[in-house]
Amino acid sequence: MRNHSSKIAACRALAIVCLAHVASAQAPAPAPLAIPNPTYISIPMEVTVNRPAAEVWKRVGKYCDIGEWLRVPCTITSGKDGEFGAVRSIGNEVLVGKTELSYTYTQPVREGRPYNLYHGTLEARPLTATTSKLVYTLVLDNSMLADDAARERDRAQRTAQFTQALENMKILAEGGTLPPAPARGGGQKGGAPKQ
């Protein structure tokens, strides 16, 4: 009787292992978090501003000032504006580097999407005692896009979006006001910068 009970227990255990294996084999595999052969690109953009760099930075350089010049809502969801590790609601972007007149952020890994290493740096550079340059540089992996045409469209869209942001920063830093934002769903794409 003891031998028979042992065989039944062993069969049950084997059945459970087999069912678990079948169930895991049928579940869809999660998307990879990394691309095997990334192609990193950088998109440098700049605009000259008729104000000293320190004044420019004071006006447009706080971490959530992006909400005003990109025309999207921005709140700090974790940490404190301007401190390392602060997270803003736009793209859940994390502040990972800063100097007196610059900051660098990244967008985190997202479940179900390959990570494209998206980083942005905004900097105010002194040119003269009364002028400066705002420099915005994006770095990302675009290898997950379908082909060269898709990569060029993506680069053009990002360049247009952030060139407009730089123009908006220039207007604000020089003491102007922005015209009303275009209606959402209309001609200009709204929302957070895409990853």
How crowded is the C-beta side of 17, counted as CA atoms within 13 Å? 6
* CATH superfamily entry for domain 40-173: START domain (3.30.530.20)
**What is the pairing mode between strands 102-106 and 93-99?**
antiparallel
Decide if 88 contacts 96 (C-beta within 8 A). Answer: no
**What single-letter DSSP state applies at residue 145?**
S
Predicted local distance difference test score (pLDDT) of residue 5: 57
| pLDDT tens, the chain, 195 aa long | 555 555 555 555 444 544 445 444 555 666 667 788 899 999 999 999 999 999 999 999 999 999 999 999 999 999 999 999 999 999 999 999 999 999 999 999 988 888 999 999 999 999 999 999 999 999 999 999 999 999 999 999 999 999 999 999 999 999 999 988 877 664 443 444 555
CA angle, 112 as apex, 143 and 149 as ends, to 5°? Answer: 25
Q: Helical H runs in the chain?
A: 2-26, 53-60, 66-70, 148-173
Distances (CA, A) of 161 to 65, 175, 189, 194: 16, 22, 8, 10
**Which residues partner with 93 through β-bridges?**
88
The C-alpha R_g of the chain, in whole angstroms, comes to 25
Q: To 10 degrees, what angle do helices 53-60 and 148-173 make? A: 110
Decide if 144 contacts 22 (C-beta within 8 A). Answer: no
Domain boundaries, the chain: 40-173
